Chain A
Amino acid sequence: MAIGRTPAHAGSSAETSLLRRPDGRSGLAGWMTTVDHKRLGILYMLSAFTFLGLGSIEAFLIRLQLAVPNQQLVSPDVYNQLFTMHGVTMVFLAIMPLGTGFANYFVPLMIGARDLAFPRLNAFGYWIYLFGGVFVYSSVFLGGAPDAGWFAYAPLTSLSNNPGNGIDFYMIGLLIAGIGTLVTAMNLIVTIFSMRAPGMAMMRMPVFVWMILVTSFLIIFAFPPLTIALFQVIMDRTFGTLFYVPAAGGLPILWQHLFWIFGHPEVYIIILPAFGVISEVIPTFSRKPLFGYPVMILSGIFIGFMGFAVWSHHMFTTGLGPVANTAFSLTSFVIGVPTGVKIFNWLGTMWGGSIRFATPMLYAIAFLFMFVMGGITGIMLAMPPFDAQANSTYFVVAHFHYVMGGGALFAFLAGFYYWFPKISGRLLSERMSQAAFWVLFVGFNMIFMPQHFAGLLGMPRRVQTYQAGIGLEIYNLVSTAGTFVMGLALAMVVFSVVRAFLSGQRAPADPWDGRTLEWSVPSPPPHYDFTSQPIVYARDAWWAAKHPELAHDEPSHEYDASLFDRGGIHLPGASWFPFVLAAGIFAGSYGVLYHNWPLAILMGLVVVVSTYGWAFEGVGGHHVHPGESAHAETGSA
């Protein structure tokens, strides 16, 4: 019994609250105070796609500058800001939150729950992520964006080497955005462990949910080292400590260790949810269950675990010595094994299936193609002697774009096309979506395939320009031309989405012949998600319900459906406090950054008071009885 454990009237403390609990669902205030996992999921996706757009504009300017050698379209300083913001945006503000957005929306629906375990914490997680992103971007208008690259190697970030405020915006921005990532990870873990529908055993969960679970654990263990490193630099720059000041004996290499102990798991934090999406899309469009489900889950866990044992492969050229390089090379190779197993199992899923080439499946197939490419160059880069040549060149740039772009982003686009009808209640034009896919696929490979060769011919990354006559011209020109193709594809995607909202066909509940529970509810789902508590008797629960004769599992236990939702469905109340708390941290961060201590202290008070208000706001919420009459809502607290 996952929902409705709390007594219906426990939330009568509304009168003592500082800010009256809002009860409306509409309007700006409705969105600002929402605790509905679906709305927050939509907000995550909207924000992530907005940041994706900003990151793409930065990428476009980078490529314009590099179109021909010795160009001075943007100055070195602006160029450094562009690629730094591009990296920070894509990693922290676009692709990772896209995974969080999908998790927010679909984890509860897939496990038969009606929300996350801590709905207000979920709202807080979203707002602090958004404010973190806005904070970093505000640097553009406040004296210049960070310019030391997305991994901000010390001592490039020290006050003497980098006196502007850009680095402070990076450090503090990531710190506060990281709070959101952490609390959301904890929220998802508790949700997945404790709120699954009756019968939804762990080994019946959709693989996407499993991957989100693994990812959430990775976040919990990976973010603390980053937090420590960020704090050290903030302290260095704000209070004059000397962690990364070489003149005082500081060891800059420490930053690299701390950053990559976070940074490599971060790669898996991004890619594992993508694996999860692919593991949902391929079975659906092959009309077959996932091949080797337990192996898929174990390999995901193994990849996550090994992710903490490979960080120094980002540092092969820092002079760690042959023994350390050998150790980290071998652990990196080991990751190739479970990854290869995953590829084989996706192929095994399609084998013998009935494959439908709808847009989500096209993206999933493209993902397979490009992820294998990125994986192969990854194995190459895990060889330290070759890495000595390729590290910090365009070969690496090509490699991680094949993994993060061709891999994670294409997988999330598969997820976007797969779930768009569910979220919006509209169907996208299949013809236009497929056309956009092909343009995007061609554009992406035009941009990044030539970069392998540019790197091997001696082009370092992060250079504002390059020498003419050393053989780099053609690769850079083709790469830049590719951005126009990819830009066209993105325009086609946006156009088709807009058109779907204006005049698209209504989506049925289950347009793809889906296998998991989110397809059992209407599109878009009602705000209470499930009219009655779903009860699960098999893996691929919705498919099993549609095809009981084909069910794989034997029901281990019979549940009495009449035991659930007897007092109606309890839905949590909206709240102002998550937003106010996040806004307090956001505004206080400017106080810290500008050494404006009165502002910092004032905002610290806002944080304390809104935490207090949050804690004593009570459970709130109301009950709905959709089974009795479609829109009856009673018992508003």
Chain B
Amino acid sequence: MPMTRWLGRATLALAATSSLAGCEFAGPQSTLDPAGPVAQAQLELLAWSYWLSWLVMIAVFGVLAYVLVRFRRRRSDPDAVPQQFHGSVPLEIGLTIVPVLIVIAVAVPTVRTIFATETRVTPGPDDVVVDVTGYQWWWRFEYPELGIVTANELHVPAGTRVILNLDSADVLHAFWVPRIAGKRDLIPNQNNQLWFEVSEPGNYSGQCAELCLGAHAYMRLRLIAEPQAEFDAWVDRFTSAADRPVQTDPQVQRGHQLFATKGCTNCHTIDGYRAGTPVGTPDFPNLTNFGLRTTLAAGNLDNTRENLAAWLRDSQAIKPGNYMPQLWSEADPNADDEIAAIAAYLLSLGSDDSTLTQATLGGSDGDR
């Protein structure tokens, strides 16, 4: 059973590669440091082909080196005419079979992994389903079964299968969180699906991997995998957001007003902002429970008071090309106060008066 032996060797190779990854090739977006079964299967295939390719390289470059040394033109006899042979049928048949065997050795595990990782699945009762819509240059995440709409941070329970339905509102995008799963494109008028499972709770970073012009390089995202209980608590925060009153802090109260008067409500939705009257449109990032976010500007900055203020003041300096308008002129004397108020209001979202949000406590806990 050569196949079993190969796969056995592939596992060995994988172990070697993983230990390699452990020290040198780990990173928040490293495909060599998988944190879920899909990315793991994809890496195993790479590892298998990687070691096979060493075999090929050693053989080919070994022969090449030998030939170059052995058959170099000698100074002693520069005019020697070597024997003019034109080929050898048995040798050529043999040398055709070698690449055929190599290709078969790669093809068998490839096909197996394709069907194991890319087969379209039907959502079951235990799965978490998220409708992902790509926009220039942010992500809309809607949990249809939970009634949650949010942006740029995808919360999922660890150890549960997550099914993403991918769509785009404008041009092509690609959803890619390297440590969890390979990418899948978001194409208008095409219902693509991507499913994966995250093995361990943690923050995993990803970004758009298909050119979408403008701020494409800044279209990042964070996938936050939590234990089921924390995920459920996060869901509760969202489903109760509309019922939570604005905090009593005067700066927050002022920010709440400015959020409408400065025009933010023209684009951005906040559940329960104004009782009975929805604000914003679905085509811009939904800011409900914004204070629970760990990042802002599509994963570009930690969600701290200072970063949020800098973003509100001059978003183009942080994410060139984005569609946020500049709301304050350079000379506006009220800018500092108003920005601080709006930032305070946004960061208060998601917490009660008595509790402090993750962000007000000093931002995220980093990527890993």
Contacts and interface: CB of A to CB of B under 8 A. Distances in A.
A287 B86 CA distance: 12
Interface in A414-466: 453, 456-460, 462-466
A253 B210 CA distance: 13
Interface string A278-307: 000000001111111111000000000000
B118 A462 contact: no
B244 interface: no
A379 B57 CA distance: 13
A609 to B, nearest CB: 42
Given A380-B53, A385-B182, A463-B216, A288 B103 contact: no
A619 interface: no
Given A76-B215, A337-B100, A458-B27, A388 B181 contact: yes
B252 interface: no
A347 interface: yes
Residue of B74, B103, B113 contacting most chain A CB atoms (<10 Å): B103
B92 A385 contact: no
B320 interface: yes
A147 B60 contact: no
Contact of B29 (A390, A391, A458, A464): A458
A460 B219 CA distance: 11
B277 interface: no
A302 to B, nearest CB: 11
A365 B99 contact: no
A456 B31 contact: yes
A162 B212 CA distance: 11
A488 B289 CA distance: 55
A389 B92 contact: no
Contacts of B212: 156
Given A76-B217, A341-B92, A462-B216, A288 B85 contact: yes
B45 interface: yes
Interface residues of B, number: 92
Nearest to B319: A76
B217 A464 contact: yes
Contacts of A291: 85-87
Interface stretch (A91-99, A130-138, A324-332, A478-486): A324-332
Interface stretch (A56-64, A191-199, A206-214, A349-357): A349-357
Interface in A223-239: none
Interface string B25-50: 11111111000000101110110011
A376 interface: yes
Interface stretch (B76-84, B155-163, B263-271, B341-349): B76-84
B150 to A, nearest CB: 22
A565 interface: no
Contacts of B209: 391-393, 460
A156 B216 CA distance: 12
B184 A388 contact: yes
A547 interface: yes
Interface string A311-335: 0000001110110011001100110
A341 B97 CA distance: 9
B183 A386 contact: no
Interface string B110-121: 110111011110
A240 interface: no
Residue of B26, B99, B100, B166 contacting most chain A CB atoms (<10 Å): B99
B27 A457 contact: yes
Interface stretch (B62-70, B227-235, B326-334): B62-70
Interface stretch (A244-252, A491-499, A556-564): A244-252
Interface string A352-374: 11111100000001001100110
A149 interface: yes
Contact of A321 (B45, B86, B118): B118
B55 to A, nearest CB: 10
Nearest to B175: A317
B87 A293 contact: yes
B288 interface: no
Contacts of A293: 86-87
Contact of A353 (B82, B111, B120): B82
B203 to A, nearest CB: 13
A319 B165 CA distance: 11
Given A318-B185, A337-B103, A380-B53, A80 B71 contact: no
A72 interface: yes
B208 to A, nearest CB: 7
B182 A457 contact: no
Contact of B183 (A252, A391, A550): A391
B361 interface: no
Contacts of A162: 213
A470 B182 contact: no
Contact of B111 (A292, A329, A376): A329
A330 B107 contact: yes
Contacts of A250: 189
B111 A458 contact: no
B362 interface: no
Contacts of B171: 153, 155-156, 161
Contacts of B25: 453, 456-457, 471
B205 interface: yes
A376 B183 contact: no
A468 to B, nearest CB: 11
Given A72-B320, A293-B87, A550 B60 contact: no
Contacts of A463: 207, 216-217
Nearest to B63: A347
Contacts of B189: 246, 249-252
B64 A365 contact: yes
A317 B82 contact: no
Contacts of A350: 67-68, 71
A342 B11 CA distance: 32
Contacts of B220: 467
Contact of B96 (A337, A376, A383, A389): A337
Interface in A497-551: 547, 550
B82 A287 contact: yes
Interface string B220-255: 100000000000000000000000000000000000
A604 interface: no
Contact of B42 (A156, A333, A347, A386): A386
A329 B110 contact: yes
A75 interface: yes
A267 interface: no
Contact of A317 (B64, B67, B114, B183): B183
A552 interface: yes
B260 interface: no
B173 to A, nearest CB: 11
A384 B116 CA distance: 12
B63 A345 contact: no
B178 A389 contact: yes
Interface of B: 25-32, 39, 41-43, 45-46, 49-50, 53, 56-57, 60-61, 63-64, 67-68, 71-74, 80-88, 91-92, 95-96, 98-100, 102-103, 106-107, 110-111, 113-115, 117-120, 166, 170-172, 174, 176, 178, 181-185, 187-190, 192-193, 205, 207-217, 220, 320-321, 367
Given A384-B110, A460-B176, 7 more contacts: A317-B183, A329-B114, A348-B91, A355-B67, A355-B68, A357-B72, A458-B31
Interface of A: 72, 75-77, 80, 147-149, 153, 155-156, 161-162, 246, 249-253, 286-295, 317-319, 321-322, 325-326, 329-330, 333-334, 336-337, 339-341, 343-345, 347-348, 350-357, 365, 368-369, 372-373, 376, 379-380, 382-393, 453, 456-460, 462-467, 470-472, 547, 550, 552
Ranked 10 nearest A-B pairs via Cβ: A388-B182, A458-B29, A340-B99, A246-B188, A463-B217, A319-B192, A471-B27, A292-B87, A344-B95, A385-B113
16 contacts: A77-B213, A153-B211, A253-B190, A322-B115, A344-B92, A344-B98, A345-B87, A356-B73, A357-B73, A365-B64, A388-B182, A392-B174, A456-B31, A463-B216, A471-B27, A547-B81
